[in-house]
Structure 1
Amino acid sequence: MKKKYVLVGTGGRAEFFYGALVRDFQETCELVAFCDANQTRLNYANKLLKDKYEVSEINTYTADRFDEMVETEKPDIVIVTSMDRTHHRYIIRAMELGCDVVTEKPMTVDAEKTQAIIDTIERTGQNVRVTFNYRYAPHNTKIRELIREGAIGQVNSVHFEWALDTQHGADYFRRWHRDKRNSGGLLVHKSTHHFDLVNFWLDTEPDVVYATGGLRFYGKENAEERGVTKFYERAHGSEYAKEDPFAIDLESNEHLKSMYLDAEKEDGYHRDQSVFGDGINIEDTLGVNVTYKNKAILTYSLNAYLPWEGYQIAFNGTEGRIEVRVREQSYINSGGNKSDEGKLSEKSIRVLPMFGESYEVEVEEKKGGHGGGDPELLNDLFGVPKEDEFKRAASHVDGAISILTGIAGNKSLATGQAVKVEDLVDLKRK
């Protein structure tokens, strides 16, 4: 029997899920309704269903009619791809109404909302899945395999450097993510992927977190140092924006225009705010130290204004070292070809035994985003899951543990103190 799905939040990330549902999983799934705070955006999602995927339009409900949607459509599963700070609201209410949930990462943005989700799962017995597609990328799975098989013995330390370039990285400072209340900042919204990978690779959990950093490049306070002397609030309609390499033109991209510019009349949301404007309170330069329950340590950095996109990692073990270098295809969310998301332009995994010759590890890539990882994630969610020796499917506990590293990091940034992760949330594990 087909499972019925509804989706709440039809912004930039939503099509990854609903497009797959109607294109690839019609035998196992039925998409029955969309929900969003903006009717124009709802109508555009329906237009994409009809014009791009050649399927019938579905019922739409505004956000204040979420309960009505669930009661009327009777879905088995609610997919949550709304603004991060609203995730908990829909996750909790969906479970209270008897539905399971698939949620985009991050599961939520702070400890209080995390606890509320955990408590609701305990109370209702419903299931929550968090969509960590990075786990499924072949090179990331291979790293887990190498560590599990003892290629470098016991891993004692990890150095993890993540680089966001001036196309992708800047985009977080144009959008709603620029306000930490909406996104939890990059330590939660973006780094949850990376912290989850470390948990996944080392098969452990964070214990103590210390973070430092700040807004060092973007924001009005840094504009003069960047040579910015002409200010504008948003790019649309601004002559100054035409001279700004960080500006995006919503009018010139039909997808961005339809999803955001045409929808402004309803909610006033500007997708093209200046990265050197007011109202930015998230960090663009971050360093984090983590001690794990298995005694391994992590040094992590994220910078959002670099000339290339990707990451470099070194795993140091009792019998050697693994060095990883990955460069990814940069993109603007909702502004480009989503099939290019996570596309690799360079990838290297090298094992350096303590005694013996170093060697390069070959990884087979497949068709689809993140080296073929995205289709595997989608099949796990919507198709017939295959037996997975690496246990890549992420539960609500995985979702919570990954964001708790970032949430602890945010608390550390605010207090200047190291934070014990287990003091933040009771995961209610027996």
Structure 2
Amino acid sequence: MNKRYAIVGTGSRAAMFVRALTGEHRGTSELVALADPNPVRIAVHNDRLDRPVPAYPAGAFAEMIERERVDVVIVCTVDRYHDEYIVAALEAGCDVLTEKPMTIDAQRCARILDAVARTGRRVQVTFNYRYNPLHEAVKRILASGEIGEVGSVHFEWLLDVRHGADYFRRWHRDKADSGGLLVHKAGHHFDLVNWWLDDDPTSVYADGRLFFYGTAGAGHGAGKFAIDMGDPDLAALYGEAAVRADGYRRDQDVFAPGVTIEDDLAVMVRYARGATLTYHLTAYAPWEGYRIAFNGSRGRLELDVTETDHVSAEAADSLKGHREPGTASLRLRRFFGAPVEVPVEGYRREGHGGADVRMLAQLLDPDAPPDPLGRSADAAAGARALLVGLAANESIITGRPVRTAELKAGIVNA
């Protein structure tokens, strides 16, 4: 019998799950309902379906679960509301797939972990970057001992001014909604390192500031950073009809007051077995991609990925950008030997390197093959990634290193 899925939160990210449930995975999964406080967004998704599904206001979430006999709830709401729907779904007897981050603070995390323990139901966090073939290859090489014991990790992530600016025009710009980029965006990256090292972060020191966006960056050229709301998908989900329904504007000025998140962030993490992570996130770069290096007792592993080579001047008004084919290089450097390029099969330019398709196959297919790499992330993994971001946020405020045990104690005793 097919599992019955409902989605709460029908913004743009929900489209991936709607397509999967009504397309490739319709033989084993069934989309039975959509919930959102904004009926316009629900209607946009339903209009794309051959057979529209029942629509519910977010306030009728419990009624939806009971009436539609929901087995699994997919949570795609604003981050600050994740815990409300996750806990309600668990207590109603459902399993949950949730967009990252699992939640945005220690108290909400405690609610989720307590509900998992009480109900015995499952929460899986959609950390899709684990399913990128490049990242799977890194996991295999590190686990094989090719570079020996890992002593340090260096990780730089660059968001170009097309993509980076988008976090400063949407709801993410308010830390009360998103937890800031160290929770919402870097949570992906902290999860990767936790998973790659198979180790627990123990202490975090961080610094960061709002440098480029917000009122401090108002002289950087507001006209060049306006989004093109003429895009049909954006116009349908977030145009004037949607604005009239709930007042939310997708295209806020990135240099206007109200930005409470940082755009330039540096983090140092110590792990239980001694390795250190140095991490930097820049949200206003001229190109997009990331560089990661692992220094080990037998050598070094380097991953370099270019996702966008530049944002073209011709497209500056809309910031759609000029996108060249992505480039990626995975290089193994053993002591006293020449560097070796490691070939990786399955890496694709779209869908987070092909990760989205692979993740959905693993999560939605009941006959999915075993997962020896442990890519599926449960609530404990969601909490472990969250700990790094929360500790980093606290470190920025206090100016001191933060031990994750302090936050864990708060979660356990909440």
Q: 2:144 aligns with which of 146, 149, 169?
A: 149
- Say whether the 8 Å CA contact 1:78–1:94 is kept in structure 2: yes
Indicate the residue corresponding to 1:398 in structure 2: 381
- Say whether the 8 Å CA contact 2:123–2:378 is kept in structure 1: yes
Distance 1:348 1:120 in 2: 42
Distance 1:255 1:310 in 2: 25
Indicate the residue corresponding to 2:248 in structure 1: 269
- Say whether the 8 Å CA contact 1:6–1:32 is kept in structure 2: yes
How many Å apart are 1:344 and its aligned residue?
A: 6.1
Q: How does 1:163-312 map to 2 (within 5 A)?
A: 163-224=158-219, 226=220, 228=221, 244-250=223-229, 252-261=230-239, 262-312=241-291
**Structure 1 vs Structure 2 CA RMSD:** 2.0
Work out whether 1:313 is the aligned partner of 2:295. Answer: no
Indicate the residue corresponding to 1:325 in structure 2: 304
Indicate the residue corresponding to 1:140 in structure 2: 135
- How many positions carry a matched residue from both structures? 400
Indicate the residue corresponding to 2:9 in structure 1: 9
Q: Secondary structure at the match of 2:331?
A: strand
- Say whether the 8 Å CA contact 1:25–1:382 is kept in structure 2: yes
- Say whether the 8 Å CA contact 1:326–1:344 is kept in structure 2: no
Indicate the residue corresponding to 1:361 in structure 2: 342
Distance 1:314 1:137 in 2: 17
Match for 1:188: what amino acid? V
How many Å apart are 1:41 and its aligned residue?
A: 0.8
Match for 2:256: what amino acid? G
Distance 1:35 1:336 in 2: 31
Structure 1 residues 325 and 128, CA, compared in 2 at 3 Å: closer, same or farther? same
Indicate the residue corresponding to 1:407 in structure 2: 390
Deviations 1:18-70 (Å, cap 9, x if unpaired)? 11111011111111000001011111111122xxxxx2000000111111111
Deviations 1:363-407 (Å, cap 9, x if unpaired)? 112566233322111011111221122111111111110111001
How many Å apart are 1:410 and its aligned residue?
A: 0.7
Distance 1:274 1:336 in 2: 14
Q: Secondary structure at the match of 1:196?
A: helix
Indicate the residue corresponding to 1:349 in structure 2: 330
Q: Secondary structure at the match of 1:275?
A: coil
Work out whether 1:422 is the aligned partner of 2:405. Answer: yes
Match for 1:128: what amino acid? V
How many Å apart are 1:294 and its aligned residue?
A: 1.2
Q: Secondary structure at the match of 2:370?
A: coil
Q: Secondary structure at the match of 1:12?
A: coil
Distance 1:48 1:277 in 2: 35
Match for 2:360: what amino acid? L
- Say whether the 8 Å CA contact 1:348–1:360 is kept in structure 2: yes
Indicate the residue corresponding to 2:27 in structure 1: 27
Indicate the residue corresponding to 2:85 in structure 1: 90
**Unaligned runs of at least 5 residues, structure 1:** 50-54, 229-240
- Say whether the 8 Å CA contact 1:344–1:370 is kept in structure 2: no
Distance 2:292 2:347 in 1: 23
- Say whether the 8 Å CA contact 1:114–1:425 is kept in structure 2: no
- Say whether the 8 Å CA contact 1:38–1:263 is kept in structure 2: yes
Distance 1:140 1:70 in 2: 36
- Say whether the 8 Å CA contact 1:196–1:401 is kept in structure 2: yes
Deviates more, 1:415-424 or 1:287-296: 415-424
How many Å apart are 1:356 and its aligned residue?
A: 1.4
- Say whether the 8 Å CA contact 1:115–1:425 is kept in structure 2: no
Runs of 4+ in 1 over 3 A off after TM superposition: none
Distance 1:409 1:306 in 2: 22
Normalization by structure 1: what TM-score?
A: 0.90
